[in-house]
Amino acid sequence: MYNEASFRLIGRIAKINRVGKTLRVNIASNYSVKGDDGKWDERTRWNTVTVFGKQAEWVETKRVAGDLVLVEGNLEDRSYEKDGETVYTTDRLANTFELIVKTGTKDERQPTEHRDETAF
């Protein structure tokens, strides 16, 4: 039996990449972890979300790095072969992509630095 999993994500757009007819949008979300010393440590999680169709057009033309967004969608597990090894991954496929807080205009877009997710 297959159960479709969903996600809800609030975060800031870091980078937008076009891949064919889709967009891969990197979104940074923050969370806190309580350390052994009892203090809270702020951390960042990097999420890549795939956006399709009209929403992809809207994101590419109207959104900029730094915008705070709410994204909801489905999780899809897949696997592929790389260097003779099977790699398993979970893709986040957006159903809704909404603006919460606008950072600037498309003309004000500044290049953003993308940090590797594995660094955290």
**59-118: pLDDT as tens digits:** 999 999 999 999 999 999 999 999 999 999 999 999 999 999 988 655 554 444 333 333
Write phi, then psi, for 60 (nearest 5 degrees). Answer: -65, -35
Q: How confident is the model at residue 19 (pLDDT cuts 50, 70, 90)?
A: very high
Report the distance separating Cα 71 and Cα 11, nearest Å.
8
What integer best gives the mean pLDDT of the chain?
Answer: 85
What is the helix, strand, coil percentage profile of the chain, to 5? 15, 60, 25
